[in-house]
């Protein structure tokens, strides 16, 4: 999914006269999962400053290239990123970006793309083109809101949903759609089984019906807090899942020598169980987060030194 949507950065220009705002009514009622990143809140936080340090030279070069081509700074000019869909397929997922966009400039740039089409969608335009053999569809609902999807039908429905007068909010995804103080990331998935069916790494979640993940900066900006809540079928399944997670936590903690960052994180997790719900909580001090990030940066191998020995002369 990352590869399909990285190019959105290339599609964006700058308009300094609008303020982007995500509205829960923009999410269709048939959506069964949603991920929402409040980029504006994150970059204002101490956590955001630390996370930016994880960008390697390659990522920084890509960001600079996008800015040089479009005038858009990807780390500053996107306010909210929302990804939603139903089922576990990437093809019908919808990406909504809220920021500042120069739609006229982008439309002109895309005019040279392979298989480019410009289709009227009411008083809006749905732009389509082919990227790496797959169709991509883009529509600017307004100068602050861009909708992108591989699936033309999904893109069209999302645009109509966002452009229509305020309607009902997707009640099933209410947890993720309700703002929370300090929260910058929310994920709610009401079809967990669809995602874990073919993924052996997530098989421990096969009994879960729903999942909610939240990341937020604690009061005083001295720590980051994370919470995962899992809903299962009954109390017995919840107890079994709790025991599995406690065992996994113990296993990760024992690997401090091989993977100290993961072991340190595992030690901070608390696993609780109440009725049909299993909850994982972690509070990570900013200093600990910094140490983990520094550890990841240290693992990066420096680029190989250039061979300064001149090649032998051709004879």
41 pLDDT above the threshold of 80: yes
Q: What angle do CA 177, 183, 187 make, to 5 degrees?
A: 50
Q: Give me the domain span that covers residue 237.
A: 191-299
d(CA 278, CA 239): 8
Higher pLDDT: 124 or 286? It is 124
Q: Is position 159 within any domain?
A: yes
Do 224 and 290 have their domain in common? yes
- Please write the tens of the pLDDT for every residue from 93-109: 999 999 988 788 888 88
Same domain, 162 and 219: no
CB atoms within 10 A of CB 226: 17
Indicate if the pLDDT at residue 231 is higher than 50: yes
Do 15 and 161 reside in the same domain of the chain?
yes
Are residue 224 and residue 161 in the same domain, yes or no?
no
Nearest partner of 173 among 75, 85, 257, 102, judged by Cα: 85
Residue 162 token pair: 């966002």
Rounded Cα distance between 274 and 239, Å, is: 9
- 304 is a domain residue: no
* Residue pLDDT, tens place only, 101-160: 878 888 888 888 899 999 999 899 999 999 989 999 999 998 899 999 999 999 999 999
- The pLDDT, as a whole number, for residue 9 is 39
Same domain, 163 and 213: no
In a shared domain, residues 44 and 8 = yes
Asked, for residue 307, whether it belongs to a domain, the answer is no
pLDDT at 220: 65
Query: Domain check: are 145 and 276 in the same one?
Result: no
Q: Are residues 235 and 137 in the same domain?
A: no
Q: Is residue 305 a part of any domain in this protein?
A: no
pLDDT digits (tens, 9 = 90+) for 158-197: 999 998 877 778 999 999 999 888 899 999 999 888 887 7
Q: Are residues 235 and 265 in the same domain?
A: yes
Residue 306 domain flag: no
144 occurs within a structural domain: yes
**Number of independent structural domains in the chain:** 2
Q: What is the pLDDT of residue 181?
A: 86
Cite the beta strand spans of 178-294 per DSSP E: 183-189, 208-217, 223-232, 269-274, 277-285
Residue 20 shares a structural domain with residue 131: yes
SS3 131: strand
Is residue 6 included in any domain, yes or no?
Answer: yes
Pair 97, 132 in one domain? yes
Residues 161 and 204 in one domain: no
Residue 111 lies in a domain: yes
Percent of the chain with pLDDT over 90: 43
Residues 28, 33, 38, 39: what is their CA dihedral angle, to the nearest 10 degrees? Answer: -110
């Amino acid at each position: 999914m990352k590869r399909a949507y990285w190019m959105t950065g290339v599609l964006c220009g700058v308009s300094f006269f609008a303020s982007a705002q995500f509205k829960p009514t923009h999410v269709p009622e048939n959506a069964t999962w949603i991920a929402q990143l409040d980029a504006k809140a994150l970059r204002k936080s101490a956590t955001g400053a630390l996370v930016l340090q994880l960008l390697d030279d390659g990522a920084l070069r890509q960001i600079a290239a996008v800015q040089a081509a479009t005038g858009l700074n990807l780390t500053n000019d996107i306010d909210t990123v929302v990804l939603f869909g139903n089922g576990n397929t990437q093809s019908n997922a919808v990406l909504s970006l809220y920021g500042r966009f120069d739609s006229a400039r982008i439309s002109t740039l895309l005019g040279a793309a392979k298989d480019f089409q410009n289709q009227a969608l009411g008083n809006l335009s749905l732009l389509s083109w082919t990227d790496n053999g797959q169709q991509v569809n883009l529509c600017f609902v307004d100068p602050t809101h861009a909708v992108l999807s591989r699936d033309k039908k999904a893109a069209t429905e999302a645009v109509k949903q966002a452009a229509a007068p305020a309607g009902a909010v997707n009640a099933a995804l209410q947890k993720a759609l309700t703002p929370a103080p300090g929260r910058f990331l929310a994920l709610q998935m009401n079809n967990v089984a669809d995602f874990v069916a073919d993924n052996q790494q997530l098989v421990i979640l096969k009994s879960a019906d729903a999942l909610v993940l939240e990341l937020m900066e604690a009061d005083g900006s001295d720590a980051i807090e994370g919470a995962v809540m899992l809903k299962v079928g009954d109390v017995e399944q919840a107890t079994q899942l709790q025991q599995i997670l406690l065992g996994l936590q113990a296993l990760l903690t024992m690997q401090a020598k091989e993977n100290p960052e993961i072991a340190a994180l595992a030690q901070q997790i608390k696993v609780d169980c109440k009725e049909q719900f299993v909850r994982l909580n972690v509070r990570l001090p900013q200093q600990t987060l910094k140490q983990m990030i520094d550890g990841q940066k240290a693992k990066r191998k420096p680029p190989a030194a250039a061979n300064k020995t001149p090649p032998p002369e051709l004879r």
